[in-house]
Amino acid sequence: MRKRLSLAVATAVTAVSVLSGTVNAASEPARTATATASRPSDGSKDVIANLWEWNWPSVAEECTTVLGPKGYGGVQVAPPQNSVSLDHVEGKPKQQSWEVYQPVDYTLESRMGTEKQFKAMVATCRAAGVKVYVDVVVNHMARDGHESYGGASYTHYDYPGLYGPADFHTYPDDCPVQPPADSADENTIRNYNDYRQVTQCELLRLADLRTETPRVRKQIAAYLNKLIRYGVSGFRVDAAKHVGQSDLAAIIGRLDRTVDGEKPYVALEVFPGPGALSPFAFQDQGSLLGIDYAYQIKDTFKSYDGGDGNITALRTLGERSGLLPGDKSLVFVQNHDSERGDTTLSYRDADTNLLANKFMLAYGYGRPQVYASYAFDGLATDSPPSDAKGFVTDTDCDAGWACVDRDTGVANMVAWHNHVGDAKLRNWYDDGANLLAFSRGDKGWIAVNNHRTARTATFRTGLPGGTYCDVTHGALTHGKCTGPTVEVNRHGEARVTVAAKDTVAFTDEDLVRR
């Protein structure tokens, strides 16, 4: 859900919808990227591309031409259920990005396409070796309007054939907050550190479902199981904090196995908060979105005044820097919420953003997700490129869309990531500022330069001597490299110049034939 940060107390932050240079290899302890369900072992494909608000034909095309061939293991897509359309709402701006987070019913007629197109997309992606993960909204229904992209009519608290007034939390039976006499914001959360308010009051007047009742749980589970029958492999659960642990567990417990015979992968959106509202408190219900990870990435790659940061602090990124266990974290450099709130990097950070994504794919913490969406010029709630009725048009990476997943360096680092698997992080080097390098065991090596000028150094790569193809600028084809190469001597050392805001990387399989 589209959100801004709201400070409830000095030490607690929650998110609400706006709806709207030394070689240290000898002393560096070997760190292992743990092989788990969220972090597969060597040779597995765990990288997910988040194609936010791409329409279904465009997602299918990307799976076939980019994601599958480049080694992405999954694709996350926007909420596919029928949602509010503001096209007919007087006084409302048309076609907002957050419309898809206001469900009207659980049919799959959405602004991204029809149910038939959705099913075809899932089948096409699976045929390309790419599993589909769906962003789902289960905490609430719509607040605005009375018409939808799928044609269904509704009113607030009355969604024909699905939910009626008795299926929603109200004051005072559930929500303890009495609205001010001059306010229409009934049942609205006032204190984002109060567990009862967060789970039983409304998030900015979005009709809050009684997810504690068997009837509501049954309806939600039926929707999710329908997606599973169509071939979906898991879910990103929007506003999971507002559902709460026990209700999430009950709903997830009703889910079927996927078509691959596995439990669905579940990643929960839980912004930082205290106690039972902390992401750490939701680990039993699923993996967690790496929101704090994205914050730390921005703080190291970019200073508060917009200048260069200091990326050498990334040496301890992960649990040692206060983050969730890596096997419980779905990490990213940005998502649709954070890039608009300016709390993380975004496509507007250009080379710095690409640099951060390549580092994420190399480092080995969490399950990585590469975000690709559209450009926005004015309001953070700007709609994706759409037709006159708000239906999202086909993705054109040369016009209005920011296709980070296709960038040569980022896309080629997916295969690098898959190859090194859970190999230990070794041969760390940094210059104390913005140049770092490391190997993953003896399988792969990368150097990352966040300086605004080129840097040259001699690195211990951990790989055997030979001539290697720099895969962030080219590819090995029939033994020949289409880009620059790196000479590694018999001691495993290489003297390398890394261009400004750039990388050099290769694996032990990228040896150039002489």
**Token pair of 396, please?**
């054109």
Query: Whole-angstrom distance between the N-terminal and C-terminal Cα of the chain?
Result: 53
**3-class state of residue 308 by DSSP:** strand
Among 510, 506, 512, which residue's Cα sits nearest to residue 447? 506
Measure the CA dihedral 211/216/220/226, to 10°: 160
The burial class, CB within 10 Å (0-12 / 13-18 / 19+), for 398 is exposed
Q: Is 208 known to be catalytic?
A: no
Distance CA 502, CA 496 (A): 12
- For residue 5, the number of C-alpha atoms closer than 13 Å in the C-beta half-sphere is 19
∠421-424-429 over CA atoms, to 5°? 120
- HEC profile of 158-220: EECCCECHHHECCCCCCCCCCCCCCCCCCCECCCCCCHHHHHHCECCCCCEECCCCHHHHHHH
DSSP state of 110: B
**3-class state of residue 43 by DSSP:** coil
Q: Is 238 known to be catalytic?
A: yes
Catalytic residue among 238, 247, 339, 442: 238
- HEC profile of 364-422: CCCEEEEEEEECCCCCCCCCCCECCCCCECCCCCCCCEECHHHCHHHHHHHHHHHHHCC
DSSP state of 112: T
Contacts of 134 (CB under 8 A, 6+ apart): 76, 77, 79, 80, 227, 232, 234, 235, 236
Distance CA 285, CA 266 (A): 8
Catalytic residue among 247, 269, 430, 508: 269
**Helix 350-363 vs helix 408-420: crossing angle, to nearest 10:** 10
- HEC profile of 451-495: CCCCEEEEEECCCCCEEEECCCCCCEECCEECCCEEEECCCCEEE
Calculate the CA 257 to chain-centre distance: 23
Cβ proximity of 433 and 310 under 8 Å: yes
**Token pair of 2, please?**
């589209």
Q: Residue with structure tokens 């975000």? A: 371
Active site residues: 238, 269
